[in-house]
Chain A
Amino acid sequence: KAGVTQTPRYLIKTRGQQVTLSCSPISGHRSVSWYQQTPGQGLQFLFEYFSETQRNKGNFPGRFSGRQFSNSRSEMNVSTLELGDSALYLCASSLADRGMNTEAFFGQGTRLTVV
């Protein structure tokens, strides 16, 4: 069974540009969550999608957005990039329907560097 796949693995962008990151969850998983990890910080929750609907949202500005497709693949978009957006962006998939205690499985992440 293939794991969570994130593309690209590495990305360098310039301030002011926008970027789109992609995540393919484990087959059968309908929930996809996105996290940001910066040095010294834990994993900061961005948002979660379930069956193409955003179900949870963290405390990030509107420049961060996402979507999920009918095949459960998800994309995350960051517009008007700032230097502080440089981070490891992690995607996690799970079966997680409400009421279920299940773990999330992470991809290897996309390392975004904004210069």
Chain B
Amino acid sequence: DQQVKQNSPSLSVQEGRISILNCDYTNSMFDYFLWYKKYPAEGPTFLISISSIKDKNEDGRFTVFLNKSAKHLSLHIVPSQPGDSAVYFCAARYSSASKIIFGSGTRLSIRP
């Protein structure tokens, strides 16, 4: 049972445009959500997070939106840059436990 789903395995966006990566979850107990970025042969790097008490969190070019009623979150990258090409993982956890559940990832490619 996949509790965190990233239904788009890949996404191609032109440099300078907005990249939108989507994530759905099924467990209403999740109350903390994270996005990680991963380059080949490296471990995932933490990007941005959001608590369930918020619906938006912004950090530079990265913004995460949370829609609790739809159990959906998205990561917006504006403007997209070549260095953003990587695999992005959505993740979720309970605040009462530290186990983090990851989605299957979306490969983002930024084309010139």
CB of B101 within 8 A of CB of A45, answer yes
Contact residues, A74-112 vs B (CB, 8 A)? 90, 92, 94, 96-101, 103-109, 111
Contact residues, B11-68 vs A (CB, 8 A)? 32, 34, 36, 41-46, 49, 51
CB of B98 within 8 A of CB of A106, answer no
Question: Considering residues A43, A104, A111, which has the most beta carbons from chain B within 10 angstroms of its beta carbon?
Answer: A43
CB of B98 within 8 A of CB of A42, answer no
CB of A103 within 8 A of CB of B98, answer no
Contacts of B4 in A (CB 8 A): 42
With A42-B102, A106-B45 known as contacts, the answer to whether A101 contacts B89 (CB < 8 A) is no
With A103-B34, A103-B49 known as contacts, the answer to whether A33 contacts B42 (CB < 8 A) is no
CB of B49 within 8 A of CB of A42, answer no
With A42-B89, A43-B89 known as contacts, the answer to whether A101 contacts B102 (CB < 8 A) is no
Contacts of B44 in A (CB 8 A): 43, 90, 106
Which residues in B have some Cβ–Cβ distance to A below 8 Å? 4, 6, 32, 34, 36, 41-46, 49, 51, 89, 91, 95-105
Known: A40-B104, A45-B102, A106-B36. 9 other contacts (CB 8 A): A33-B100, A35-B102, A45-B100, A50-B98, A56-B97, A101-B32, A108-B41, A108-B42, A108-B43
